[in-house]
Structure 1
């Protein structure tokens, strides 16, 4: 992830002001107050931009309070929704409709243009998805109603796992088309989380889950394509469906599942050959999920008309 802010690069008396500026620039104007002396302030913000509407953030700080109220409510920023996963540092979250504690490994939701207050008493962090509300296609009322009901959504666990996986893997993806697909699938999943959280009819919940299942599977395949053990059985198990059901769902896709996985591995290998010119081809083959360098070389030649070594030589000769 790209580092947007690191308190260690500022003098102690500059850290709080610089951190507040970084936070307000990323979302909407609000107040930040650290609970530790200036020389003890620790703060770091890192990010991966998936597309113009969807950004993945990691925020790690010592004890801190964020609040947006009063005149700040008349100074609107872009209409973002923040979906966060709290990680350590006991605290609480308040908005006009509720006050609730923040527990580790729990999701929370913030309307960045609304009134809110978060309080973290000691060092901790959060993984955050920042998404333009227009991209989600949901109302402000849906966002505010969903906050207290997130845990009741059947997509809650899936969304939480997805956010953790994104934080671990998204920075490894450099292909713009892949990032755009990841952003679209992520926005689709967040939309499903919010709408199922506020929907009371079981039938509508099941239909929403079904609509998002293929998107979740496609996203899972893209994120785990370079895992050597990835295959139909594992994908089906991870999504609590049968292999037969998996293939039925995948029939709507233009490329068969096994070929999709192979192409993703080959694309990853092709990028690494150029980006890591000193890494042995055998190491790249292993990192991209191939069982042997010879298997990688054979499939690479079939796909691109040359060996991995030849591809690297051409890329280095014409950067």
Structure 2
């Protein structure tokens, strides 16, 4: 295991050191990572080499923005892509015209092509666990990998397997790094099977973009108390029944997704806007009833909003 970067209150953030660490981890120059504005960013970056241009990276941080930037002359970078597990939280990933959000309370599996623009933003503390590799190792066409990136969804037959496998691979890396080269080929084969399955699903889905548009609409109107299945259906000129049938492909209940995303945003606001009352936080994030907000928050995080806020304040004060 190699700890490439450790930014904390005792170790000030240095943009040049972060860029150097990302390059050492194997990410191309076109990919940048920047902490979101805050008083004391915290970042820990680990990297393990599996061989043949394949690497496992774990990035633990406070709020960050990551993006693929334009190439300014020179030779084109080696075509690379990544499959990543993103921890739950307040984040969005925009890639290939699609906005992806977290699964409430669960890690999310995504595929990212480093050759095309993407933008990832997370408002709070979280972890990104990434396997990145040369696309040539997949032995798939560019068209197939592009379809796979768009078609990867929770109902993919291998989605849960890969989402579980990557954290287990990180555990092996932390305890028995010498075994990683032996797992290299198996890891790439598993990712290849995942992407082939996702590409086939994209080909068989007549309306893959509709789910993305619905998800984007929900994210854009999340704080509107009037957001509901009926208003979402009307905005997309479909019936409520069609909406539920279409959304069922995500593997997440529509109401659970909306409430989960509202709670995740509210949790960030509880930490960053301590002057707001619990009722004000509830209203800001689409809950008309503060009691209902408290009930749903406790069910999701095993603490009331007040208890969670006080615990956060205590944790920050202790640092």
Asked which structure has the greater RCO (Cα within 8 Å, sep 6+), the reply is 2
**1:31 is the counterpart of 2:18:** no
Return 5+ residue gaps in structure 2 as ranges.
204-319
1:22/1:72 CA distance change after superposition, 3 Å? farther
Map residues 237-252 of structure 1 onto 2, 5 A cutoff.
none
1:150 to partner: Cα distance = 1.8
Distance 1:122 1:114 in 2: 26
Q: What residue is the counterpart of 1:77 in the other structure? A: 77
Map residues 74-153 of structure 1 onto 2, 5 A cutoff.
76-103=76-103, 104-151=106-153, 152-153=155-156
TM-score using structure 1 length: 0.56
Return 5+ residue gaps in structure 1 as ranges.
203-319
1:128 to partner: Cα distance = 0.8
Q: What residue is the counterpart of 2:158 in the other structure? A: 155
TM-score using structure 2 length: 0.56
| CA deviations over 1:249-275 (Å, ceiling 9, x no partner) | xxxxxxxxxxxxxxxxxxxxxxxxxxx
Residues 76 and 113 of structure 1 are in contact (CA less than 8 Å); yes or no, is this contact kept in structure 2?
no
| CA deviations over 1:70-107 (Å, ceiling 9, x no partner) | 34597643322111000133111112331221344110
**1:173 is the counterpart of 2:176:** yes
1:173 to partner: Cα distance = 2.7
Residues 58 and 125 of structure 1 are in contact (CA less than 8 Å); yes or no, is this contact kept in structure 2?
yes
- State the SS of the aligned residue for 1:36: coil
Q: What residue is the counterpart of 1:15 in the other structure? A: 14
Distance 1:73 1:162 in 2: 38
Distance 2:202 2:37 in 1: 47
More helix by share: 1
Residues 148 and 202 of structure 2 are in contact (CA less than 8 Å); yes or no, is this contact kept in structure 1?
no
Residues 28 and 113 of structure 1 are in contact (CA less than 8 Å); yes or no, is this contact kept in structure 2?
no
Instruction: Indicate the RMSD between aligned Cα atoms, in angstroms.
Output: 2.6
| CA deviations over 1:205-259 (Å, ceiling 9, x no partner) | xxxxxxxxxxxxxxxxxxxxxxxxxxxxxxxxxxxxxxxxxxxxxxxxxxxxxxx
1:11 to partner: Cα distance = 4.8
Distance 1:118 1:110 in 2: 11
- State the SS of the aligned residue for 2:8: helix
